[in-house]
Structure 1
Amino acid sequence: MADPKHLDLIAERVERLLLRHEELQRTNALLLDQVASLKNERDSLRSRLNAARARIDALLDRLPADADFMPKDTE
């Protein structure tokens, strides 16, 4: 028959492992939420960047084609 002291040590270790497992599951869930939030923020920033690029392209298209608007070098 197994030593009761040895069984108690094993039971204690199993309890600690179960607690650690639960803690890791909670941490993982929080990290998954954070990843989802960061992905949403990234997508929003990417959309804003694309909109800003489109506005800049539209402004560039409105500029005159000739170079008369450019300042000439003074010598």
Structure 2
Amino acid sequence: MSIELRHLRCFLAIAEESSLTRAAARLHLTQPAVSRTLAALEHHLGARLVDRSTHHLALTAEGRAFQDRAAAALAAFEA
């Protein structure tokens, strides 16, 4: 697997919304699709980006570091 723009957009939506459900609504996707995309990205990177439970969602240290790189990569592509 290679990282695609959809992985970056999905991760950034999760990071900004602090919710898989709200990220899914923002992206016009289902929550399971967002969860699968995040899991694939985490698997590819070999790092957990998001700490999630039934009551909260927060970026891990790796997730916070990746957020900056993902935002820069997406901005560079869109420019």
TM-score when scaled to structure 2? 0.25
Higher relative contact order (CA closer than 8 Å, sequence separation 6+): 2
Higher relative helix content: 1
TM-score when scaled to structure 1? 0.26
Q: Looking at CA atoms only, which structure, 1 or 2, has the larger radius of gyration?
A: 1
Higher relative strand content: 2
